[in-house]
Amino acid sequence: MTTGILVLAATPIGDPNDAAPRLAVELTKANVVAAEDTRRLKRLTSALGITPGGSIVSYHEHNEAARTPELVERLTAGERVVVVTDAGMPSVSDPGYRLVVAAVAAGIRVTCVPGPSAVLMALAVSGLPVDRFCFDGFLPRKAGERARQLAELADERRTMVFFEAPHRLDDTLAAMAQAFGAERPAAVCRELTKTYEEVRRGGLAELADWAAEGVRGEITIVVAGAPREVGTVDDALDGIRSRVATGERLKDVCADVASRTGLSKKALYDAAIAARG
Task: Please tell me the pTM assigned to this model.
Answer: 0.80
Count of CB atoms within 10 A of residue 45's CB?
Answer: 21
Question: Which tens digit of pLDDT belongs to each residue from 47-78?
Answer: 999 999 899 999 999 999 999 999 999 999 99
* pLDDT of res. 230: 63
What is the distance, to the nearest Å, from the Cα of residue 193 to the centroid of all Cα atoms in its chain?
Answer: 18
Domain regions of the chain by residue span: 5-116, 119-223, 233-276
- Asked whether 108 and 4 are in contact (CB, 8 A), the reply is yes
* pLDDT of res. 3: 79
* pLDDT of res. 227: 84
* pLDDT of res. 212: 95
DSSP notation for 240-276:
HHHHHHTT--HHHHHHHHHHHH---HHHHHHHHHHHH
Question: Which tens digit of pLDDT belongs to each residue from 74-100?
Answer: 999 999 999 999 999 999 888 999 999
Q: Does domain 119-223 have CATH number 3.30.950.10?
A: yes
HSE-up of residue 175 (Cα within 13 Å, Cβ side): 22
* pLDDT of res. 47: 95
* pLDDT of res. 1: 54
CATH hierarchy code of domain 5-116? 3.40.1010.10
* pLDDT of res. 256: 84
Full pLDDT tens readout for the chain, 277 residues: 567 999 999 999 999 999 999 999 999 999 999 999 999 999 999 999 999 989 999 999 999 999 999 999 999 999 999 999 999 999 988 899 999 999 999 999 999 999 999 999 999 999 999 999 999 999 999 999 999 999 999 989 999 999 999 999 999 999 999 999 999 999 999 999 999 999 999 999 999 999 999 999 999 999 999 987 767 899 889 889 988 998 999 999 998 888 777 789 999 999 999 988 7
Of 96, 180, 170, 91, which Cα lies nearest the Cα of 135? 91
Q: What angle do CA 127, 128, 133 make, to 5 degrees?
A: 135
* pLDDT of res. 261: 79
- Asked whether 240 and 229 are in contact (CB, 8 A), the reply is no
First vs last Cα of the chain: how many Å apart? Answer: 73
* pLDDT of res. 53: 86
